Structure 1
Amino acid sequence: MIGKVGTGKSFRGVLHYLFEGRRQESKELQMQELEKKQVEVIAYNQCFGTRLELVREMIEVAKLNPDQSKPVFHFSLSFAHRDAGKLGLQDKIDMVEKLAEKFDFKDHQYVVVAHKDTNHEHMHVVANRIGFDGKTASDSNSYKHMAEFARKVEMEYKLERVLSPNKFLKPEQRVAQSQRVDNRKETLKKHLQTAIKQSTNVQQVKKYIEQRGYEVELGRGIAFTDAQHVRFKGSQLGYALMDIEKKLKQEQLLQRQQEQNTLAQLLRQQQEDLKKQQEREKEQEQVHRYSQGIGR
């Protein structure tokens, strides 16, 4: 499981994104975006209503601490492909309650929204850092706390294990994890080497790698995420997008050279075969003439 945490200023902005998706140029496109996200609210705590009602309620409580410029907690929990269907509704609600306990907002307002717009089952939690007593839930060491929470939940619910960032691990754990990361890198690099040999363009490389169970992000650069949600930039592997394009061109030149060499070899063989055939015919002709002379 991958857990992310952030703080923000606007309940309106984050709730609009979760309920409506990214802002589109027209109403029709906005409806398509909404249908794609397949929004489902699975839990409310200390608040209730439509998106606009939730915004108003949370803003009113946030006013209890006007000095806090970032009253929004936004969490996302994303599960691996293999974990699809493992968790029931109550499991997810229980998980969020444990999250609220970990980050000290269990008595605050929060809403839990599930999305089905990606290949990974995932859900979002928007919480008010400001409680009804005006106190603010701390965001100190939030990334470390989220990594700890994710690893604990994976064990408790028998979910796919994901590697935590090295800086949150003990020295001996870092060594073991580095070995695992190196193994993952080498496996991916071998896939890329094979993909490049069998492809003529980057899209074909992308398709080959995706068929091996990776997610491929292709834009100005390239990145790969394996089934355990471990992500590598192409540059970390020696296969940045520019490197892949260069290797594809080199491979194509090499293949053309090999084809030319094969063709040249074939022509030489044909010439040698023709020469041998001509020599055999000449020998046969001489034998024939010699036999004709004896006969007379």
Structure 2
Amino acid sequence: MIAKTTIGRSFKGCCAYNMQKVEMGKGQVLMSQGVRDYELNPMVADFTRQAKMNPELTRSVWHTAISFDPKDEARLQLQPELMKAVASEYLTGMGLDQSQYVVIQHQDTVHSHFHIIANRVASNGQSISDSHNYNRSEKLLREIEQKHSLTLMKEQGYRLSLEHIPDRDRHRLEMRNEVRQSLERSTNSAELKADLAQRGIEVIVNRDQAGKARGLSFERISQIDNGEEIKVAFKGSKLHQNLSLGHIQEQLLENSLKRALELSKKPELDKSIGLEKGPQIEDKQLKQGRSLGM
């Protein structure tokens, strides 16, 4: 599956395009929550009313279009509930199930696809984050594909796109992708190193004569086309400018703060796992983020 997400300001334009498909018999409403899904104006009014609960969030429109691989078309025809299951799991995985949404299938193309229009202002007035939505969406789609045995569309396309480039460049692109994914879900250096170790990638801290960390390198043992094993190593800054030591430290700290905030909003979870409440949680997370073990 392929997903394309845009974050916008106007519900009317987004809803009008999709509802026009329904009115023309070229689409259907698969599911909805919290909005009148039978007509354009009431739907827009419902979305707009809830968005006003959080006036500071100016870009409150979440629009994602998800397309299936043509190879899955036969299954989608035989199992009409499959598309709804995918949409529901995507909504839940991205946190959109806590707000208003409408899911509309388009029926005027050779490949099946649907559109999600959701309100980034949740039903309780809180904002639904769009931070790193591309990486989160891609990871979630891969999980949904595997769960339902759907064609791994992006992975296949990604591998094919790397087939005819030099080995070292291919290794660089593959490693960059994996380091980014690990960094996305890590809050400190220990988590980052452990996650990358599972992928066969070792993190090397480059230090100066005084022992101060000056940079990072990533190493792994890879196979080239003839089956020979070679060591592949790249400095973080050579993988991408945002994978330098400084940028990685900033990202880990940002992830740490977000996790601390999530924990502070779940006192019942804190109690169940024996965590202390209040500033001590944030202090612990901040220390982890600042020290980074590097």
5 Å-filtered alignment, 1:74-93, equals 74-87=63-76, 88-93=79-84
Report the number of matched residues: 163
Task: Give the corresponding residue for 1:157.
Answer: 148
CA contact (8 A) 1:11 1:55 kept: yes
Structure ranking higher on relative contact order (CA contacts 8 Å, 6+ apart): 1
Query: Normalising to structure 2: TM-score of the pair?
Result: 0.51
1:231-281 Cα deviation digits (max 9, x unpaired): xxxxxxxxxxxxxxxxxxxxxxxxxxxxxxxxxxxxxxxxxxxxxxxxxxx
Relative to structure 1, the CA distance from residue 115 to residue 155 in structure 2 (aligned partners, 3 Å threshold; closer, same or farther) is same
Listed one character per residue, the Cα deviations across residues 191-219 of structure 1 (whole Å, up to 9, x for unaligned) are xxxxxxxxxxxxxxxxxxxxxxxxxxxxx
In structure 1, the residue matched to 2:30 is 42
The offset of 1:178, in angstroms, is 6.6
Superposition misfits of 4+ residues, deviation over 6 angstroms: none
Q: 1:179: Cα distance to partner?
A: 5.6
Which has more radius of gyration? 1
Retained in 1: the 8 A contact 2:19–2:39? Answer: no
> Cα deviations across residues 109-128 of structure 1 (Å, max 9, x unaligned)?
10010001222110001011
- Structure 2: how far apart are the matches of 1:123 and 1:102? 17
Cross-structure match for 2:62:
73
Distance 2:125 2:159 in 1: 47
Contact 2:69 2:153 in 1 (8 A): no
Contact 1:4 1:146 in 2 (8 A): no
Judged with a 3 Å threshold, the aligned counterparts in structure 2 of structure 1 residues 118 and 68 are, in CA distance, closer, same or farther, namely same
Paired AA for residue 3 in structure 1: A
> Aligned-pair RMSD on alpha carbons?
2.6
From 155, 163, 168, give the equivalent of 1:183: 163
For each residue in 1:35-55, what CA deviation from the matched residue of structure 2 results, as whole angstroms up to 9, or x when unmatched?
A: 4x7111111112223121110
Match of 1:224 in 2: none
Asked whether the equivalents of residues 90 and 141 of structure 2 are also in contact (C-alpha less than 8 Å), the reply is no
Is 2:47 the counterpart of 1:58?
yes
- Higher share of residues assigned helix: 1
**Where does the alignment leave 5 or more consecutive residues of structure 2 unmatched?**
166-294
- Does the CA contact (< 8 Å) of 2:89 and 2:144 recur in 1? no
SS in 2 for 1:42: strand
Q: CA deviation at 1:93?
A: 2.0
Percent identity (aligned) = 25
Of Structure 1 and Structure 2, which has the larger fraction of its residues in strand? Answer: 2
Q: Which runs of 5+ in 1 are unaligned?
A: 22-32, 165-175, 186-296
| Residues 44 and 111 in structure 1, CA contact (< 8 A), matched pair in contact too | yes
- Once residues 97 and 66 of structure 1 are traced to their aligned partners in structure 2, the CA distance between those partners, rounded to angstroms, is 27
